[in-house]
Structure formats: structure tokens, C-alpha cells
Amino acid sequence: MKHDLIAVLDFGAQYAMLIARRVRECNVYCEIFPHNVTVEELKKRKVKGLILSGGPASVYEKNAPKLDLKIWKSGIPILGICYGTQLMAKDLGGTVKPGKKREYGRTPLIVDDETSIFAGLPKQITCWMSHGDSVAKLPKDFKLLAHTRNTPIAAIGDPAKKLYGVQFHPEVVHTEKGTEIIKNFVYVVCGCRPTWTTKSFAEASIKEIKATVGKEKILCALSGGVDSSTVAALVHKAVGKQLTCMFIDQGFMRKNEAKKIVEVFTRSFKINLVHIDAAQRFYDKLSGVTDPEEKRHRIGNDFIRVFEEEAKKLGKMPFLAQGTLYPDVIESAVPGLTSTTAVRIKTHHNVGGLPKDIKFTLVEPLKKLFKDEVRALGRELGVPEEIISRQPFPGPGLAIRIIGEVTPERVKILQAVDDIVVSEVKKAGLYKELWQSFAVLLPIRTVGVMGDKRTYLNTVAIRAVTSTDAMTADWAKLPYDLLEKFSSRIINEVPEVNRVVYDISSKPPATIEWE
């Protein structure tokens, strides 16, 4: 079945991915496109609706991102959000001016027109604002749909042309009825059908993998996490015995992790699994390296080299499957894979960290999915719950949770600390509630007193966050008694540590991982 497509045009918004997620939650397929995509390309893809994202620029700036002007007359329904609304107003004859007062955060919104995108909503809702500029004059044939105390024109629309704009952000959870607004646009205005489901995605992916791989053999990079495990299950459904999974222990796994992964996959899957111990090779590769990006590049590069070398021993193996996700692609800002306005946050080892002369043809069936979508897909494919419910673990492993040089000794310290953190979070019944909870070994020592003696030992930070997609995250307000258990057990059981701190930074401005 051919699914309806909604396109999000990215003008540099931190919430562009979130808009796509919200549309997909309506069971309608959605993709991110660069803001300068042509109307011809959109029509070629048979896009049924456009959502213009927000962005940091002002529409009246000289180099502000623009839209192909032919799109306004294309007949494709359009919903502008924040910057997208201002661009709509400016291009179609309205006026945009800097606001007298910047509006940021939760704001009461008064609905003036309870039809179209506001159909079925209360007269007043709380919305999330984040803007300095505002629409000052409506374009011809547009009417006012909603306002706030500080923004007289907070939502606009030309129902005849199916053009709508909202100054607030319906995609964030802080906006009441935001999902209903998106549903009204997607279902009613665009006429999309809710056919994009986990089951339909699995069926389409299996067909695509079969067509791509043919009768050749394929190797899967298996880490034991949700993403690679789901990929393994998906590819196995598609090509069966043509698949070989390879688990490379790079030495940066959690305590006893390698043994557990081999046990789980031997028990749960009838998949050919090859276990490679390459720890010393990776330690040598990272000797003296302290820069986070350099770590990621070296690990990503050597991962592929090990796969290439080991694959030769297995015969002809032209394809490599891996669990690249949409957030990995976006944060790595790889040219050709992301919008022209994307900024690199960090290089994910399986995206930007890959060598240019890679000998495999990559198969990445999850690269347009978010983590929660992958979990749902994994359940659909029968992946064990003990894997599905696992918190995300970075491909470079503990190497990017050790700030500074990575050595076997420092890894051993962090493994011991991490094991305590994970076990105590599980005992507290919070493991599934938290997106991630882990420890970070810092490159500093501090003075302490233990047994009436002065100590000068390592400091570790505990990081715990809540999130739904890893694009944004809040630091978790863990109970004090749990924090106390962390500190007490770590300092008493890990002799190399004498101080524990808790990270209370959200994303943005911080990232979830420290490197």
C-alpha cells in the first residue's frame, strides 16, 4: 500500500524532528525535507501536505532561509509553524515585525475561529510560544484564527487555499491539544489516511531488504541494544540464513555485557552469531586521544575495518546492516542525508564516523525511525522484552563516558560504577521510566577523607534523563534516597572514587551523553 506523505520543511528548528514524530503518531508517514526543496520534487513525491518548521532566523534578514515561491501556488495544503507562519505572511503580502515583547514559554491562547485546524478544541488552550517576531498584518484573503495577550495575530488561515499558520508550537507537549491541531491539519485539511503503522513499515522494509540483498549474504553489526537487535530480527525475517550477525567487543562495554549479549542471542534467536574480541585493538587506537570527535571517528573507523577483515573469513559478504536511527543522522549532519540548515552536534560512530572507502553496501532500514518507533517495531518482530526495554547505549560505549583518555584501568572503574547505578535504578523501579541513567568518569581528582586519611581520588557524575525521542530531554528528579544510595555504594565499593555528583542539565543546551 502506498502511504500518504506529509513533508516537514526544515528552516533550522530544534523541533523539526518532533513535528515529524507527531505526524507519525497520527499514523501518517512524514519525512524531513530541506527548506529549499523544489515544488517539482514535492509533486514527484506526491506530498499531500507541507508543514513549515520554526527556525532561529528573522524573515527580514538578508540571508534568511526562503521557500520556492511556486510552492505557495502549488495547491498543496500548508501549515506554517512560528518562522514558517512569518514566512507565509511575508511572502503572501502581509507584514512581519519584531515584537514589542519577546514571548517565550506557556501562554494562554484564545481561539477566535473554532473551525478548520481548531475544530473541536476549547475556546482557550495553553500553547508554547518561542518567538521575537510576529505577524503584524494579515495577507489578503487570510483571517485571524487565534490570539494571545502579547500576540494579537497568533494563528492565521486562508481556508480556500488551505494555507494555515500558527505562531506557537503545536508539536511540543507543553501545548494543550497540539496533537489535535496537527490531526485536524493532516486528516481534515490534507485528507490523509492513517495507514502508516508498525506492521505496514515492517512489511515494506522486508520487501525492500529482499530486493536490495537478493541472494547475496549480509552481515549485521550487532551490539545487543534495541536498534541493532531490531535490525537483526528484521533482516532475518527478510533473508533468513543469508544473515550473519557479528558482535564486536571493543572493550568499552558494560560489566559482563559481552557474555550477556551472546547468551541472549544464542537463546532467543536462531541466527548465526560471530563474537569478536577486539578490545586491545581499540585501546591501542585510542591511546593518548582525548578529543570526543576524534574518539568517535577512530572507533567508527575501526569498527568498519574489523567488520571488513572478519567478513573476509566468512566468504563474500557485500552488505552490512546496522541500526542507524533518524536522530543519529540529524545530529551528525551528514551532507545529503539532512537538511541544508542542519548543524552537526556530534558525529555518531555509525554515520559521520564511517570511513569514506567503506567496502560494504550499507543496509539501514531504521534510519528514518525514532527510538520509540523502533521499540514498537521490535515488539512486532518478536524481539525479547529484555532487549526492547533496554535504555539506549552509545555505539562507542563507555569510551565517550570517560572524559579524557580511555585506558583499561579507567574503563574498569567506570564499569564498576555503572553497574551500581543500573542495579539501583532497577531496584527503585525506575529503569523503564527513565530514558537513560548512567555514570560518567571525569578527568579530575578531588580531595577527600576516608578512614581518617586524606585521599585524592576520582570523581564520577551520574546522569539520568527523561525523554521520548532523545532530541530533547529533561534531567530526572530522582528521589534523594536513591541519590544517596548511588553515592554510598560507589564510594564504599569502588576504591578509586571519593566523590559523586549529579548532572542537572537538560537537552538542550546540554546533550544527553557528555561526549
Contact between 68 and 74 under an 8 Å Cβ cutoff? The reply is no
Inter-residue contact 307 to 223 (CB < 8 Å): no
Grid cell listed for 31 = 519525512
Task: Read off the amino acid at residue 134.
Answer: S
Q: How confident is the model at residue 429 (pLDDT cuts 50, 70, 90)?
A: very high
Q: Please report, rounded to a whole number, the percentage of residues in the chain having pLDDT higher than 70.
A: 93
Beta bridge partners of 230: none
Q: Residue 231's closest CA among 103, 121, 366?
A: 366
What pLDDT, on the 0 to 100 scale, is given for residue 341?
44
| Cβ(314)–Cβ(245) below 8 Å | no
Q: Identify the pLDDT of residue 331.
A: 56
1: pLDDT strictly greater than 90: no
Q: Which of 301, 299, 304 is nearest to 279 (CA)?
A: 299
Residue 493 among the catalytic residues: no
Q: What is the pLDDT of residue 92?
A: 96
Decide if pLDDT at 101 tops 70. no
Residue tagged 522484552 (cell numbers): 385
∠ CA 286-359-228, nearest 5°, is 70
373-418 pLDDT tens trace: 999 999 999 888 888 888 988 889 999 999 999 999 999 999 999 9
Contact call for residues 89 and 143 (beta carbons, < 8 A): no
Per-residue model confidence (pLDDT) at position 62: 85
Backbone angles phi, psi at 21, to 5 degrees: -60, -45
Residue in the structure block whose three cell numbers are 517565550: 104
**Lateral strand order in the sheet of 5-10:** 29-34, 5-10, 47-52, 78-81, 163-166, 155-158, 143-147, 95-111, 124-137
With beta carbons less than 8 A apart as the criterion, state whether 17 and 469 touch. yes
Q: Which of 35, 131, 169, 348 is catalytic?
A: 169
Average pLDDT of the chain is 89
DSSP 231-264: HHHHHHHHHGGGEEEEEEE-S-SPTTHHHHHHHH
Instruction: Tell me what pLDDT residue 290 has.
Output: 94
Report pLDDT for 325.
Answer: 84
- Band (9; pLDDT cuts 50, 70, 90): very high
Name 126's bridge partners.
108
**Helix axes 226-239 and 371-380, enclosed angle (nearest 10):** 40
Residue 99's pLDDT is 62
DSSP states of 186-202 as a string?
Answer: IIIIS-------HHHHH
Alpha-carbon separation of residue 190 from 78, 164, 183 (angstroms)? 9, 12, 10
How many C-beta atoms lie closer than 10 Å to residue 102's C-beta? 13
Cα–Cα distance measured from residue 399 to residue 410, given in angstroms and rounded to the nearest whole number: 10
pLDDT at 446 over 50: yes
For range 58-72, the mean pLDDT: 91
Question: Does the pLDDT at position 263 exceed 90?
Answer: no
Cα–Cα distance, 6 to 9 (Å, whole number): 10
Give the CA distances from residue 410 to residues 325, 414, 437, in Å, rounded to whole numbers and listed in that order. 29, 6, 19
Which residue has 550487532 as its cell numbers?
A: 222
Report the pLDDT averaged over residues 299-304: 87
Is 366 in contact with 324 (CB distance < 8 Å)?
A: yes
Quick: pLDDT tens for 336-372.
444 444 444 344 444 444 556 677 889 999 988 888 8
Look at residue 182 and tell me whether its pLDDT is greater than 70: yes
Give the residue-averaged pLDDT of 24-30.
94
Question: pTM surpassing 0.75?
Answer: no
All three cell numbers of 112, joined, read: 477566535
DSSP string, 490-502: HHHH-TTEEEEEE
Cα→Cα distances 104→3, 213, 425, Å? 36, 50, 35
**Given 82, 127, 190, 245, which residue is catalytic?**
82
Mark whether 349 is an active-site residue: no
451 band by pLDDT with thresholds 50, 70 and 90: confident
pLDDT at 335: 44
* Catalytic pick among 103, 131, 171, 245: 171
Query: Rounded to 5 degrees, what are φ and ψ at 243?
Result: -95, 135
Could you confirm whether 169 is annotated as catalytic?
A: yes
Q: What is the pLDDT of residue 352?
A: 41
* Separation of alpha carbons 266 and 289, rounded Å: 35
In total, the chain counts a number of residues equal to 515
pLDDT of 95 above 50: yes
Span 92-100, average pLDDT: 84
Per the CB < 8 A criterion, the answer to whether 109 and 148 are in contact is yes
DSSP letter, residue 185: I
Three cell numbers written together for 54: 520554526
Q: Which residue has the higher pLDDT, 145 or 328?
A: 145
Q: Which residue has the higher pLDDT, 67 or 15?
A: 67
Tell me the β-bridge partners of 146: 111, 155
C-alpha cell at 26: 497520527
pLDDT of residue 100: 63
Please choose, from the candidates 381, 397, 469, the residue with its C-alpha nearest in 3D space to the C-alpha of residue 439: 397
